[in-house]
């Protein structure tokens, strides 16, 4: 809570009276309000901020000493955990040398401001990104993707200011389109949401994003973020669309959603707070048409649930990201399916009856929503989980195997796109990666 107002340009403290969560639950004992009434009175009269009004300061350099490289490395890691800068996994200390190396991934000035990171309000620069990427084990050729992702994250349209602190455990999903994905070894295929030493870029980029969320944004569990569970937050979700396996006539996500020309390296950032595998394939003697249709029903049925995170992006965001493997997309395209017809089907068949909404208490959430479109949707029966089929994100990604698809449940007020800006010497960085990591 101490970060709650800093992102607004105010000092990161405020006159607050805090109570255990139990007092905020239905039927609670609220007598502590009376017992601590003086704290409310003091907050109105005597409280003073501990921060000066012009309290901007440069972050200092940190020094550790050790008997050996390993000893110094261990001390640096201990210090970063003690200062709440780490995530529990080993970190590269962001030395000048390493950060300067990472900065080779951009032609932009290192001090170029990108905004203030909510809710704490940490001043975010190109250098901040390089520091986080250095800590996360990244490489310079990853920096353009991270910078674009941070620009999108800090765009108010993303909703990050609220989602950083909220209890719903939102994590950013960064979808990369264009040639940069394969060039920097970003996974689009088997295991693209998990660890892969052959295609390690997504883990470092996503981890760096998370470190920025925590270290500049103040999103420490139970302090700056009230996320109940925080799933997928070690590395967030960063992957490339499998454009090599896009069926003919299917546009890349960046083109469909954001209007980037095909072949443009770009990112698209949304938020999700759930991830699940959906068994899509049939098991016996289905025809190709039956196999595709049954899979579509199974995915829509999974989405037809009276859980309310989709409200956040009901009007302009997304109810979620559906990932289809290239082999499935190819087969479905051969049967006449398009991304647009898949969206229409999912929208139509994921609608929830008013009776199901009522018994789950959903109308109350719909009635108090900030969006007029959401509030007015309460009259619809069955109720669509999003205002328009266009809000569904369909991407082709995942291993070349037909059994499964993947659903990232959206909790995303907006979906923000950014073109990726490459430095003039980018090809040299790729050659360095080839030298360091072996052939792609």
Partner 1 sequence: MTLSGGPPMVTLEFHDPSGAIEVKQAHAPRVRALAGKRIGFVSNEQWQAYRMLPLLKTLIETDFPGIEVLPIDAFPQGNAVIGSEETAALVKASGVDAVIIGNAA
Q: Is residue 4 close enough to count as binding partner 1 by CB under 8 A?
A: yes
Mark out the alpha helices in 136-280 (DSSP H runs). Answer: 143-154, 160-163, 180-183, 201-215, 253-258
Reported residue count of the chain is 440
Contact region for partner 1 (CB under 8 A) — 28-36, 276-284, 296-304, 387-395?
28-36
**Given 2, 107, 110, 123, the residue binding partner 1 (CB under 8 A):** 123
**Given 2, 95, 305, 338, the residue binding partner 1 (CB under 8 A):** 95
Distance from C-alpha of 118 to C-alpha of 114, rounded to nearest angstrom:
12
Buried b (16+ CB within 10 A) or exposed e, 54-82: eeeeeeeeeeeeeeeeeeebeebbeebee
In this structure, the number of other CB atoms found within 10 A of the CB of residue 85 comes to 18
When the beta carbons of 38 and 428 are compared against partner 1, the nearer one is 38
When the beta carbons of 83 and 287 are compared against partner 1, the nearer one is 83
Distance from C-alpha of 33 to C-alpha of 17, rounded to nearest angstrom:
9
Buried b (16+ CB within 10 A) or exposed e, 211-244: bbbbbbbbbbeeebbbbeebebbebbbbbbbbbe
From 435, 439, 425, 434, select the one nearest 144 (Cα to Cα). Answer: 425
Q: What string of H, E and C letters represents the secondary structure of 113-176? A: EEEEECCCCEEEEHHHHHHHHHHCCCCHHHHHHHHHHHHHHHCHHHCHHHHCCCCCCCEEEEEE
Query: Whole-number minimum distance, CB 121 to partner 1, in Å?
Result: 5
Total residues interacting with partner 1, rule: CB under 8 A:
81
Q: Is residue 244 close enough to count as binding partner 1 by CB under 8 A?
A: no
Q: Is residue 369 close enough to count as binding partner 1 by CB under 8 A?
A: yes
**In the range 270-329, which residues lie near partner 1 by CB under 8 A?**
none
Q: Is residue 101 close enough to count as binding partner 1 by CB under 8 A?
A: no
Contact region for partner 1 (CB under 8 A) — 185-193, 280-288, 336-344, 367-375?
367-375
When the beta carbons of 81 and 244 are compared against partner 1, the nearer one is 81
Q: Is residue 236 close enough to count as binding partner 1 by CB under 8 A?
A: no
Query: Whole-number minimum distance, CB 55 to partner 1, in Å?
Result: 5
Lookup: tokens for 292: 């595709």
Contact region for partner 1 (CB under 8 A) — 22-30, 258-266, 298-306, 405-413?
22-30
**Given 106, 108, 124, 377, the residue binding partner 1 (CB under 8 A):** 124
Q: Is residue 11 close enough to count as binding partner 1 by CB under 8 A?
A: yes
Q: Is residue 370 close enough to count as binding partner 1 by CB under 8 A?
A: yes
Q: Is residue 48 close enough to count as binding partner 1 by CB under 8 A?
A: yes
Q: Is residue 197 close enough to count as binding partner 1 by CB under 8 A?
A: no
Q: Is residue 262 close enough to count as binding partner 1 by CB under 8 A?
A: no
Q: Is residue 222 close enough to count as binding partner 1 by CB under 8 A?
A: no
CA distances from 98 to 69, 108, 132, 184 (A): 15, 17, 11, 18
Lookup: tokens for 118: 């909510």
Query: Whole-number minimum distance, CB 363 to partner 1, in Å?
Result: 15
Contact region for partner 1 (CB under 8 A) — 78-86, 358-366, 385-393, 422-430?
78-86
**Given 184, 211, 246, 422, the residue binding partner 1 (CB under 8 A):** 211
3-state secondary structure of 358: helix
Query: Whole-number minimum distance, CB 57 to partner 1, in Å?
Result: 5
**In the range 58-77, which residues lie near partner 1 by CB under 8 A?**
58-69, 71-76
When the beta carbons of 213 and 266 are compared against partner 1, the nearer one is 213
Distance from C-alpha of 369 to C-alpha of 129, rounded to nearest angstrom:
34
> 266-279 and 122-125 as β-strands: parallel, antiparallel, unpaired?
unpaired
């Amino acid at each position: 809570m101490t970060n709650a107002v800093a992102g607004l340009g105010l000092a990161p403290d405020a006159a607050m009276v805090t109570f255990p969560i139990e007092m905020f639950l239905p039927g609670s004992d609220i007598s502590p309000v009376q017992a601590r009434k003086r704290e409310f009175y003091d907050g109105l009269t005597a409280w003073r901020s501990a921060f000066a009004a012009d309290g901007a300061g440069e972050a200092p350099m940190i020094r550790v000493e050790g008997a050996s490289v390993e000893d110094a490395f261990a001390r640096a890691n201990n210090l970063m955990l003690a200062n709440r800068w780490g995530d529990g996994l080993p970190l590269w200390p962001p030395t000048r040398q390493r950060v300067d190396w990472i900065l080779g991934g951009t032609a932009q000035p290192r001090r170029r401001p990108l905004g203030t990171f909510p809710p704490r309000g940490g001043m975010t620069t190109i250098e901040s990104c390089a520091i986080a990427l250095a800590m996360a084990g990244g490489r310079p050729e990853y920096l353009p993707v991270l910078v674009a992702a941070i620009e999108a994250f800090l765009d108010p349209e993303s909703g990050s200011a609220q989602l950083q602190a909220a209890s719903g455990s939102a994590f950013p999903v960064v979808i990369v389109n264009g040639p940069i994905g394969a060039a920097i070894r970003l996974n689009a295929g088997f295991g693209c949401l998990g660890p892969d030493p052959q295609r390690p870029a997504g883990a470092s980029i996503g981890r760096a994003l998370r470190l920025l969320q925590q270290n500049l944004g103040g999103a420490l569990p139970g302090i700056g973020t009230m996320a109940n569970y925080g799933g997928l937050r070690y590395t967030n979700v960063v992957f490339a669309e499998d454009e090599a396996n896009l069926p003919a006539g299917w546009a890349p996500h960046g083109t469909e959603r954001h209007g980037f020309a095909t072949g443009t390296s770009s990112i698209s950032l949304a938020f999700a707070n759930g991830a699940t595998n959906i068994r899509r394939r049939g098991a016996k003697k289905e025809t190709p048409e039956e196999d595709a249709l049954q899979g579509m029903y199974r995915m829509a049925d999974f989405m037809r649930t009276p859980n309310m995170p989709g409200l956040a992006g009901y009007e302009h965001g997304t109810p979620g990201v559906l990932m289809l493997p290239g082999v499935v997309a190819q087969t479905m395209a051969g049967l006449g399916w398009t991304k647009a017809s898949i969206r229409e089907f999912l929208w139509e068949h994921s609608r929830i009856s008013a009776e199901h909404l009522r018994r789950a208490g959903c109308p109350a959430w719909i009635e108090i929503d900030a969006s007029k479109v959401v509030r007015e949707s309460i009259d619809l029966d069955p109720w669509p989980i999003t205002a328009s089929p266009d809000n569904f994100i369909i991407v082709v990604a995942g291993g070349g195997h037909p059994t499964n698809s993947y659903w990232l449940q959206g909790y995303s007020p907006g979906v923000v796109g950014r073109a990726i800006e490459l430095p003039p010497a980018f090809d040299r960085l790729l050659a360095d990666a080839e030298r360091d990591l072996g052939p792609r």
